[in-house]
Amino acid sequence: MTFLYKANTVRGMEWASLFSRHAPDLPFRLWPDIGDPAEVRYLAVWKPPDDIAATFPNLELVFSVGAGVDQFDVSKLPAHVPLVRMLEPGITETMVQYATMAVLALHRDLVAFIAQQRDRVWREIRVTPAAKRRVGVMGLGLLGQAVLEGLKSFGFPLAGWNRSPRSIEGVSCYAGNDALPEFLAQTDILVCLLPLTDETRGILNASLFAQLPPGARLVNVGRGAHLVEADLIAALERGVLSAAVLDVAEAEPLPADHPFWNHPRILLTPHNASMTTPETAVEFVLDTIARHRRGEALPGRVDRERGY
């Protein structure tokens, strides 16, 4: 019975040390040293290996090392094998930090100031009070709700949009496609934290941007495929949007000739808005394995019909 880790090697070595301390009876292997594939019962992975079912015939649990699972083709995963997305405090904490940073950077015109510094321009930009800068979050799952909670202290009017209804104190909540235009019309800074599904792929497009107030700003910390990149460039060039902070892209790493690299109204980071903390991730994984062995419900278990 083996636990196999296939993701960042440096963090994998930290996982190995933690497993030896907290679960010494469970053999731990770090990809590509898989040992006997028939012994692998548990797999923690970012990019799954090809043909999981045939490679690991006795697999019992698969963990995504991140909060998302869109990198999985669930049709290749046996129906009896649960897929579990990572639920651990490190992911939430780092996402709240990043989203807060991004919203404040857009609110206080940091993207514009960086461009001015590059051009050696000394020009002040009038400050807009937080009470007059409306922030909307798309996706009201665990991360979306945590981000909204983290933003409350700054005094922004807050709104949230979700596929299904939510109720959050201090937040105007909207649900379903019919409510999306009303949500967008009152959003000056839009934060995308949606899961990537067939319904949300390409949702950040020209039509959506046109429903935002003129000069609105965008934060995408969901997935690159949420965004139609050419539509973003066009919206920035026409002033439909005034700036964007992007942590994800359609192609990662971003190609060297991609226009995002040098665009003066885009602040770009390399898909590290949130990151699992090995200590709490291993604690979550071991607890989930114990629950699975006892036949209990698994926190973070993915609904394959919904895709998250």
The active-site residue out of 85, 134, 217, 223 is 223
Of 83, 8, 80, the closest CA to residue 46 belongs to 8
Q: Is the bond leading into 32 cis (omega within 30 degrees of zero)?
A: yes
CB 267, CB 113: distance < 8 Å: no
The active-site residue out of 271, 291, 301, 304 is 271
Whether residue 223 lies in the annotated active site: yes
Whether residue 108 lies in the annotated active site: no
> How, if at all, do strands 135-138 and 83-84 pair?
unpaired
Q: How far is CA 297 from CA 82, 292, 304, in A?
A: 11, 7, 16
Which residue is associated with the tokens 């019992």? Answer: 60
The catalytic residues are 223, 271
